[in-house]
Each structure stands twice: as C-alpha cells, then as structure tokens.
Amino acid sequence: TWLEEQHGPYSAGAFFILKQGGAVKFRDKEWIRPDKYGHFSPEFWNFREVPVEAVDASDCEINYEGLDNLLLLKELQSLSLQRCPHVDDWCLSRLYPLADSLQELSLAGCPRVSERGLACLHHLQNLRRLDISDLPAVSNPGLTQILVEEMLPNCQVVGVDWAEGLKLGPEEQPQDTASPVPA
C-alpha cells in the first residue's frame, strides 16, 4: 500500500513481480528482469505514469494474496503464470478485474489449477490466447479444452490435444477389417 501511494500502482505492481523473480514490460519499453542475483534496474521507478502491459511471473511463488499487486495493473494485456506452484482455482477466480484488458494468459504447468478454476475465466471475454498445457489437476484435458473454447469463443486455447483423455464409444472403436465377418 505504501509503495502504491508513493510510486503509483504500475511501479508498485512491477516492484512486486520483480522481487518475486518475474519480469515486467511497461508500454513502449523493454522487458525488465532481475539478474541471477535478484537485482534489477531501478529505472522502473521512473515509469510511474506508464502502464504495465505484460507480466512474466513464471515459476514465481505468487499466491492468492499476491494477486492484489497484479490487479492494480488495469491495462495488463499479457500475463504468464507458468509453473507457479501456488496458483490455484481461487487465484483464477480473482482475475475478473483484468477482464477489459487481458488478452493473453498462460497457466501452463500450474499443478493446482483444475477445471473449476478454468471455469472462472468466463469473465475474460477479451482473451485471445490461453495456454492450458500440462495441468495435472485437470482430469480430462481434451474435454476441458472443448468447454473452455465454448466459454471463450474468441480465444485460441493451446496446449492440449483436443482428443486427449476422450474415450471412444463402442460404435467408434477401431474395427478389425482383416478378419472375415461370420455369415
């Protein structure tokens, strides 16, 4: 809260992500990333009035409460939460304030995201790309992809083979055409 009051929501949100080891991109600027020691250029403090348009929080320890810092970024267009161990269904239910701006979202490799969380994304009608690959808590990836595509018709859902996990019905089982049919 203090950082937000002193430096504005964009810089405060960027600082949170950078301290977590993630990267941020302000509009019309280059990506800012921490080095191998966790240090990063303080130049982002100069971007108080410049919106953050992209966040890469891949592998970060971000959780439900930490999302407060991202929800300040009202013009965020791209968000990567790949392999975030604490991102779960509850976290996805909190993303609705970004509905007007968010166009790309990656949840690839998030071990705690299930079908229930993906259903919460129905608010994000401006999404154009959603990566739902490698979600171990999703029991039927193929069916889930179909349902997400129905829910978000203007969004390209990637990362899942649509037939993955779908069972063939008896009439669709492969037939052995080499053996003769008894008369």
Is 143 part of any domain?
Answer: yes
Cα–Cα distances in angstroms (integers) from residue 126 to residues 16, 73, 95, 96, in the given order = 25, 16, 12, 11
Domain limits at 106?
2-158
73 lies in some domain: yes
Query: Is 180 inside a domain boundary?
Result: no
Q: How many domains does the chain have?
A: 1
CATH assignment at residue 141 = 3.80.10.10
Going by the DSSP 8-state scheme, the letter that residue 140 receives in this structure is -
Alpha-carbon distance 172 to 147, whole Å?
Answer: 22
Contact 98, 124 (CB under 8 A): yes
Q: Is residue 168 part of a domain?
A: no
**When comparing pLDDT for 42 and 124, which is higher?**
124
Residue 174 has what DSSP assignment? P
What's the pLDDT score for residue 162? 59
pLDDT at site 138: 96
Residue 91 lies in a domain: yes
Judge whether residue 166 has pLDDT over 90: no
pLDDT at 160: 83
Residue 183: inside a domain: no
Q: Give domain status of residue 86, yes or no.
A: yes
Asked whether residue 148 is domain-assigned, the answer is yes
